[in-house]
Amino acid sequence: MEKTVRISEDKHFNETDIIVKVPETCPICSKNMLPQCFPNVSVSDIEIDSTGNIPIYEAALIARCTSCKHLYTIFFKLFPNNEYDPILFGDLYFETKIPQINVSISETIKKISPNFVKIYTQALQAEKLQLNELVGMGLRKALEFLIKDYAIFNYPEKELEIKRRPLSQVIEKYVDFSDLKTLAKGAAWIGNDETHYVKEWPHKDLNDLKKYIEASISYIELKSNIFDAQKMIEEKCNK
Ligand SMILES: [Zn+2]
């Protein structure tokens, strides 16, 4: 279905109408329908890409499903021709913007457990998207990777056993430092509550879980730095 939409004048484009081919499937209810489109298009002020030397800008229009009546956004890309008239670049698409998370994770943790970094970041992205029922499960999974990978880092010969055992047993048997054991156990209990029907610790929540995981990260970094410094001292003693 073709729609005429209006691009307002800005520093990249002249004011003009363009014809866009709007998808006829609703991204929310998946029904085929002819959406109502609001006529004015919003254009990003920064280049999101380029083709050769020609900058590409992201543009969006709001549509309303005529079946479920929800509003949604349709994105497309534009580049200006020599006269600053907008030219469509590629097809129109729906897109859910995934929020960028600036989690500062040290190289030490990235090296010990790259999977932890990936899962932890996704859990925090889910939180930003207000998918609150999924955040705790994601954090619980992230914790399992952090603790098991750290245990494997310290006991590489036990890798298979550590991978197979439940997290609680790995914490008991392969986490050597009592403070880290306490933090990991507390985090695992709250994390388990996030995946079970009945909460065993109703006065604890996601913020406590995040605090315990952050403290576990800091503890692993601390121990790793102490271990590094100890190696220096031993080298000097052996000279
Ligand atoms: Zn719909």
User: pLDDT tens-digit profile of 37-85?
Assistant: 998 999 988 888 888 888 999 999 999 999 999 999 999 899 888 888 8
Q: Residue 69: count other Cβ atoms within 10 Å of its Cβ.
A: 11
Higher-confidence residue of 113 and 11: namely 113
The residue written with tokens 């956004």 in the block is 73
Give 1 Cα–ligand 1 centroid separation in angstroms: 16
User: pLDDT tens-digit profile of 137-158?
Assistant: 999 999 999 999 999 999 999 9
Give 68 Cα–ligand 1 centroid separation in angstroms: 4
Are 8 and 44 spatial neighbours (Cβ–Cβ below 8 Å)?
no
Give 172 Cα–ligand 1 centroid separation in angstroms: 51
Its pTM surpasses 0.85: no
Amino acid sitting at position 198: V
Going 78 to 79 to 85 to 91, the CA torsion angle's sign is negative
Give 27 Cα–ligand 1 centroid separation in angstroms: 7
**For the chain, what are the domain ranges?**
2-93, 107-238
In whole angstroms, how far apart are CA 77 and each of 59, 91, 93, 115, 120? 6, 8, 9, 34, 32
Residues in contact with 175: Cβ distance below 8 Å, sequence separation at least 6, in sequence order:
147, 150, 151, 181, 184
